[in-house]
Amino acid sequence: MREKELNESFGTLSETINGLAKLGYTHDFNIKEECIVCHTANITLSPDDFEIDHVYRFEGDSDPEYQSILYAISSVKFNIKGTLVNGYGISSDETTTKLIEKLEIPHVRNSMENKPNDSTVNPSDGSILDNPLMEIDLQAFIKQAKNEATWADKGRHSAILFKSDTMRIMLMGLHKNAELKPHKANGVISVQVLEGGIEFTAGNQSVQLGKGQMITLRDNVMHSVKAATDSFFLLTVVV
């Protein structure tokens, strides 16, 4: 019954936190070194002391940098349940990410398509990899995106394909007329259209981009994106 309740959509990040609180996830967890702590209960949990019961991903409506992951966490040992919020992609907190990567959770940890030495990103588990050599099946990611509820319900999609200390590659999808409202990136970016067409605006300049076309933009320049038709594009950020 609990798993069914956890699988239900509560709505926004704040609504989900409130919904989980009604299910008993009342404590606010934070990261301290390589452990999770609850200051109100004065408890420190090592990775062996807790489980991640469910993971929720939230996408910013206007800016791909404003994205986060919410973890529903429980500990049988300490009889405590709560939530931990972490950004992903450009806004990911490195300390939290490293701790989560240590856990044996298939849909959270880095994995390589069921093969320890395979460097292909697996779109079915949303892997985020940083290997010396990687192969990414863009069409597989696009196909998966089109089957996800966020694409059908919200008219947008985003997924991290690659991340390192200096670069992020994201697959972005927008339904016709959907927009990424004006925002800035904290690094140099490139945008490459894979399907459809978009209008990319930076300052007073607008560029129409179709399949196979791309642009680059220096860091901290205000820009926006509007889809002329259902579109998918690669967003690369170098910091």
- 84 token code pair: 């931990």
Residues 87 and 150 grouped into a single domain = no
Q: How far is it, in rounded angstroms, from Cα 165 to Cα 183?
A: 22
Query: 16-71 pLDDT, tens per residue?
Result: 888 999 999 999 988 877 788 888 888 999 888 998 898 887 765 545 555 678 88
Separation of CA 98 from chain center: 15
Structural domain of residue 54, as residue ranges? Answer: 2-101
Task: Give the Cβ contact number of residue 221 at 10 Å.
Answer: 12
pLDDT, tens digit (0-9, with 9 covering 90-100), for 155-200:
788 877 887 778 888 899 999 999 888 888 888 999 999 999 999 9
Q: Concatenate the DSSP letters of all residues of 7-21 into one string.
A: HS---SHHHHHHHHH
Q: Which of 107, 103, 102, 170 lies closest to 136, judged by CA?
A: 170
Tell whether 142 and 234 lie within a shared domain. yes
95 and 45, same structural domain? Answer: yes
Tell which wins on pLDDT, 209 or 10: 209
Are 15 and 91 found together in one domain? yes
Single residue among 101, 124, 151 that ends a domain in this structure: 101
**Are 94 and 28 in the same domain?**
yes
Asked whether the predicted pLDDT for residue 226 surpasses 70, the reply is yes
pLDDT of residue 128: 46
Q: What is the CATH number of the domain that holds 212?
A: 2.60.120.10
125-149 pLDDT, tens digit per residue, is 444 455 677 888 899 889 988 887 7
- Let me know whether 233 and 143 are in one domain: yes
**Within-domain flag for 119:** no
- State the pLDDT at residue 110: 35
Q: Is residue 8 located within the same domain as residue 65? A: yes
Residue 150 host element (H or E): helix 149-154
Confidence at residue 119, expressed as pLDDT on a 0 to 100 scale? 43
95 shares its domain with 11: yes
Give the pLDDT mean for 100-108.
53
**Total of domains in the chain:** 2
The reported pLDDT for the residue numbered 26 is 93
Are 17 and 64 in a shared domain?
yes
Reported confidence tier of residue 87, pLDDT bands at 50, 70, 90 = low
User: What's the pLDDT score for residue 93?
Assistant: 64
107-115 mean pLDDT = 34
**Strand blocks (E) in 124-230:** 156-163, 167-174, 179-183, 188-195, 197-202, 205-210, 214-217, 223-227
pLDDT at site 103: 60
If asked whether residues 91 and 15 sit together in one domain, one would say yes
